[in-house]
Amino acid sequence: MQISTAWRRIARVFLPFAIGYYLSYLFRAINALIAGHLSSDIGLGTADLGLLTSVYFLIFAAAQIPVGILLDRFGPRRVQSALLLIAAAGAGLFAVSTGFLSLLIACAMIGLGVAAALVAGLKSIALWFPAERAALLNGYMIALGSLGAVTATAPAEHLLAWIGWRQLFGVLAAATGAAAMLIYAVVPEPVIVPSTASSSATLRSVFGDKRFWRIAPLSATCVGSAWSLQGLWASPWLIDIERVDRAGLVGQLFIMSIVLSGGAWLFGATVHCMRRRGTGAETVLGIVAVLFIAAQLALILRAPLPSILPLSVIAIVGTAAVISFALVADYFPPELAGRANGALNVLHFGWAFLAQCATGLILEQWSSHEGHRPVQAYQVAFGLNVLIQVWSLVWFALPWLKSSTSRTGSIPSVIPVSAYEAVEVSICCEQADDDAQW
């Protein structure tokens, strides 16, 4: 690809979709900042806040497979621009809502409207850029988009103090509508070759792949939980358990968002470099999961560490979807990119919905004292989530564990490049076939 052509594609394809994903992340992260305002202005309780913010994830997850099919059939330009108009309307409704039901409908509209924000960007990268650059560009896409989480901290706090949350959502509505028009006007229309297989057959090829189901539970429970924590529950934890004031809360959320943005670039660059060296991305996913579990345990067990350290690790894991999408790109051809990425995102956002809503329900079982819930409530809510992540990690490593114990009778301490590669290596070694094809 010539340099001039590459820069034109970045300006006309990559950046417009990055703006759309930026707005999506801003909508996702803003709830942690305005939760107190919603409680005081409209009288929402903890369970109401959990449901209100998690319905975004529920609608987002439900839309992923239809969105993936539409992206593969009609291209990202038309699908993304149309859906962003729905998000703009939802933001406008949120700005004028005075009750829980209208807020719930507005959040559902926003969730539907930004449902294609990430997968449309990933699809555009698959269509317009070389395959060997996909992981790196995916990382850049998520890194730029996650700047929305940065905006949802200190900058948004200043806007809240100046114009209030209703006017803030009015501004977001206008910006989202402008982004929809930009994408429709600037992004070129690719030539979409219709797939010869039916939609059900191609989806069956995704959901029927054993490799997909080996990584999907681990990716969903880690990435979805990280979104749930940063998007809402890190804020009550800091207020109830760490007893930080408003300025301290905004400062810690700001640090988490900065780390989040850097994590996306880091994961994309790491996967890109490891691929060039012939190393699989499964190793990175396994290591990230172990670190994520350890960070949550540090919070639950009240380890003598500044809370910003484990919270920063949790924030970084929110961008580990870069690793998972790189694996999906290896498993499936480009014409299935929309469906495959959408299928994985169903699980990401579906788990984020469950984790966020369930956490609110569990916390409601403890009464607050002087406006603060006890640490035991958070330990139970967070701990149940960690148990499921541990199970997902064991499921992910099961082929490697079986092959390792059958060969040596013990479990090594280093994660191999890929669980599937480990099984293949074991079979090849046992057969002693010098001509085996890797």
Reduce the secondary structure of 191-252 to three states and give it as a string.
CCCCCCCCHHHHHHHHHCCHHHHHHHHHHHHHHHHHHHHHHHHHHHHHHHCCCCCHHHHHHH
| Cβ proximity of 118 and 21 under 8 Å | yes
C-alpha closest to that of 373 among 103, 28, 47: 47
pLDDT at 413: 43
C-alpha closest to that of 177 among 347, 300, 23, 9: 23
Mapping DSSP to helix (H, G, I), strand (E, B) and coil, where does residue 401 land? helix
The parent domain of residue 85 ranges over: 11-185+206-428
| Cβ proximity of 37 and 161 under 8 Å | no
Is the pLDDT score of 386 beyond 90?
A: yes
Is the pLDDT score of 337 beyond 80?
A: no
Least confident of 67-71, 250-254, 275-279, 302-306: 275-279
pLDDT band at 65 (very low <50, low <70, confident <90, very high): confident
Between CA 373 and CA 370 the distance in angstroms is 8
Write the single-letter amino acid at 235.
S
Counting the structural domains of the chain, the total is: 1
pLDDT at 396: 94
DSSP state of 398: H
Within-domain flag for 167: yes
pLDDT at 22: 94
Between CA 15 and CA 21 the distance in angstroms is 10
Mean pLDDT of 174-190: 93
pLDDT band at 420 (very low <50, low <70, confident <90, very high): very low
DSSP state of 133: G
pLDDT at 147: 87
| Domain CATH for 162 | 1.20.1250.20
Mean pLDDT of 359-367: 89
Within-domain flag for 20: yes
Between CA 287 and CA 179 the distance in angstroms is 37
DSSP state of 303: -
Mean pLDDT of 402-409: 64
Beta-carbon contacts of 391 under 8 Å, excluding residues fewer than 6 positions away, are none
Within-domain flag for 197: no
Main-chain dihedrals φ then ψ at residue 372, nearest 5 degrees: -125, 135
Which residue has better confidence, 210 or 279?
A: 210
pLDDT at 161: 85
Within-domain flag for 4: no
Is the pLDDT score of 278 beyond 70?
A: no
Question: What pLDDT digit, counting tens, does each position of 131-158 carry?
Answer: 777 778 888 888 888 888 788 888 888 8
pLDDT at 383: 95
pLDDT at 333: 78
| 243 conformational bin, left if phi > 0, alpha if psi -120 to 50, beta if neither | left
Mean pLDDT of 319-336: 82
Within-domain flag for 267: yes
Report the percentage of the chain scoring pLDDT > 70: 87
Least confident of 209-223, 271-285, 397-411: 397-411
Which residue has better confidence, 201 or 42?
A: 42
Tokens of 405: 């114990």
Is the pLDDT score of 92 beyond 90?
A: yes
The pLDDT mean for the chain works out to 82
Within-domain flag for 194: no
Question: What is the pTM (predicted TM-score) of this model?
Answer: 0.71
Neighbours of 157 (CB within 10 A): 19
pLDDT at 368: 78
pLDDT band at 273 (very low <50, low <70, confident <90, very high): confident
pLDDT band at 3 (very low <50, low <70, confident <90, very high): low
The most confident of 205-209, 356-360, 380-384, by mean pLDDT: 380-384
Within-domain flag for 435: no
Mapping DSSP to helix (H, G, I), strand (E, B) and coil, where does residue 333 land? coil
Least confident of 105-114, 306-315, 422-431: 422-431
pLDDT at 68: 84
pLDDT at 427: 33
Is the pLDDT score of 415 beyond 60?
A: no
Which residue has better confidence, 432 or 105?
A: 105
Which residue has better confidence, 334 or 139?
A: 139
pLDDT band at 258 (very low <50, low <70, confident <90, very high): confident
Mapping DSSP to helix (H, G, I), strand (E, B) and coil, where does residue 145 land? helix
| Cβ proximity of 393 and 285 under 8 Å | no
Within-domain flag for 2: no
Neighbours of 366 (CB within 10 A): 16
